[in-house]
Structure 1
């Protein structure tokens, strides 16, 4: 693994447990039925609408992949089930139809992680028993919590841009100090109720060099950075990678950022987005915040959903 140039190191289990307790302590007090989404107040939504100046808008999602790749051994299935060439009657009304089947939590397609997605020490976020996960779906903390959509102020931090490289190499991690340095360099600050997006360049590397086994090696946040996110009170965390780097920097915990963000803080995660369309718009306009609208499927009991977040500048 290529070392991160900015310093945070590996953690043993005891150090991670201490970090977990600090993150929980830094979170806002009081019950939050929808987790960190409850920090997105009506006033903050109205303020986010004020981010719109030019009306230009792009998706933060990657196209759904239907062909097997090194990072996607179980690609989505998208069969045509209605009118297609070779099955057309040629007279009267016909309908083109199709269906989609996909692994929501894979390493290629853009998706949202619900609060029931992460089981840690036998519980879900807020101490909800893991036994609420049943064969027919999640009885608590499902993606239905976001059924009304997520609308708020998006903030993009470009870590490759900060480092002066096209992308971070698989295995590298992003530290809290780099998030602060990116804020200073870009003239933006993320805060309570924001949708924070951290670019590591995963999608550009995949585009330029081809797919690789992202389950074994990918760039992401160092778990220590989550303490800063807790202090700032963000509502959502997203990345063009998995948010977690691999190999994990924590002994015995494979996805420490997922544990800290989802389980400890109740933050919905957005994995495997793409920022290559919004990046030039932000660069051109010289601003790194925008209105963001996310509409997950209204899937009662679901552990997540494919999504196409829309950034409006």
Structure 2
């Protein structure tokens, strides 16, 4: 992801009344799925059966494939406070038997805004607990996560649904700070001809990276479009397996008093739904518009990192 001029977004829009912590806690308890699955480490990915995979593969018609990962981001900026590393470790210039060899090294602190990544269930604790009621301090230590690690998830192959809000609204993007409510999701389903069903992966396009390309970077921690917490009960009712988008799913500023990432807490900690953050959905939006459909086969294969709280990832849609 190349650097671009820094841009300050306009003040966030009025997204309705704020939610108190007491009301949020009631919502958290109402969507909680603790004790539902074994192994619990996989959370909502347990919903995806071989039958789900077969139905998802039937969505492949044109064979068009669309990757969604951002370029490996080594450039510091307002949305990349911890740039990734990439350097050459062998240039093939040391005398050695043929053939010569070229090697490189990569490293990243990926839980931020500059790298496309998957959040595993060990990533977020709320009230001191991870998903399934595990005490965070007992199962996450300096060696990594001993519950909810990304290595326990494995690959996901399921139906993906793109909730393309700019396409629905006829705009280029949603302004940072715009919340997507439950009624917006229902309107998008109708407009795009899709229905979110059990085991589906839901991806929200706000047009974040189109806006960044045209107007410059800004700090998404301060303002970004995303889901309002009032959309989560609908997603919970539909029984989704994965949630993601071109932001980090949370609208910012947060609509909940004292919580910076309430959708993270609801999805990961209450519902056991892994999250995909910072996807570039522009090519997928164009492909879906060309095909005239907004559902597709989705393949997500995180790195097998024992103890990892997530993984850089390059999800692929196949239409």
Which TM-score bucket, shorter chain as reference? Answer: over 0.9
* Greater mean alpha carbon deviation, residues 299-308 or residues 159-168: 159-168
- Which residue in 1 is equivalent to 2:222? 216
* Pairing partner for 1:75 from 74, 83, 87: 83
Q: How far apart, CA to CA, are the structure 1 residues paired with 2:114 and 2:174?
A: 17
- Which residue in 1 is equivalent to 2:4? none
* Pairing partner for 2:12 from 2, 6, 10: 2
Unaligned runs of 5+ in 1: none
- Which residue in 2 is equivalent to 1:150? 156
Question: C-alpha deviations, 1:227-281, integer Å up to 9, x for none?
Answer: 1110000000011001112111100111000000000000000000011111111
Unaligned runs of 5+ in 2: 1-10
Deviation at 1:140, TM superposition (A): 0.7
- Which residue in 2 is equivalent to 1:174? 180
- Which residue in 1 is equivalent to 2:26? 18
* Greater mean alpha carbon deviation, residues 182-191 or residues 201-210: 201-210
- Equivalent residues in 2 for 1:11-90 (5 A)? 11-24=19-32, 27=33, 30-33=36-39, 34-83=42-91, 87=93, 89=95
Deviation at 1:29, TM superposition (A): 7.2
- Which residue in 2 is equivalent to 1:141? 148
Q: How far apart, CA to CA, are the structure 2 residues paired with 1:30 and 1:105?
A: 28
Q: How far apart, CA to CA, are the structure 1 residues paired with 2:35 and 2:96?
A: 65
* Pairing partner for 1:274 from 277, 280, 300: 280
Q: Alpha carbons of 1:46 and 1:8: their partners in 2 closer, same or farther (altered >3 Å)? A: farther
Q: How far apart, CA to CA, are the structure 1 residues paired with 2:174 and 2:94?
A: 49
* Pairing partner for 1:186 from 185, 192, 205: 192
* Greater mean alpha carbon deviation, residues 302-311 or residues 207-216: 207-216
Q: How far apart, CA to CA, are the structure 1 residues paired with 2:107 and 2:279?
A: 19
Q: 2:120, 2:309 within 8 Å by CA — same for their partners in 1?
A: yes
Deviation at 1:75, TM superposition (A): 0.6
- Equivalent residues in 2 for 1:180-259 (5 A)? 180-259=186-265
Runs of at least 4 residues off by over 3 Å? 87-92
TM-score, normalisation: structure 2:
0.92
Matched, 1:132 2:139: yes
RMSD between superposed Cα atoms in Å: 1.6
Q: Alpha carbons of 1:30 and 1:210: their partners in 2 closer, same or farther (altered >3 Å)? A: same
1:244 aligned counterpart, secondary structure: coil
Q: How far apart, CA to CA, are the structure 1 residues paired with 2:25 and 2:270?
A: 11
Q: How far apart, CA to CA, are the structure 2 residues paired with 1:57 and 1:234?
A: 23
* Greater mean alpha carbon deviation, residues 59-68 or residues 227-236: 59-68
2:266 aligned counterpart, secondary structure: helix
* Greater mean alpha carbon deviation, residues 61-70 or residues 297-306: 61-70
Q: 1:203, 1:241 within 8 Å by CA — same for their partners in 2?
A: no
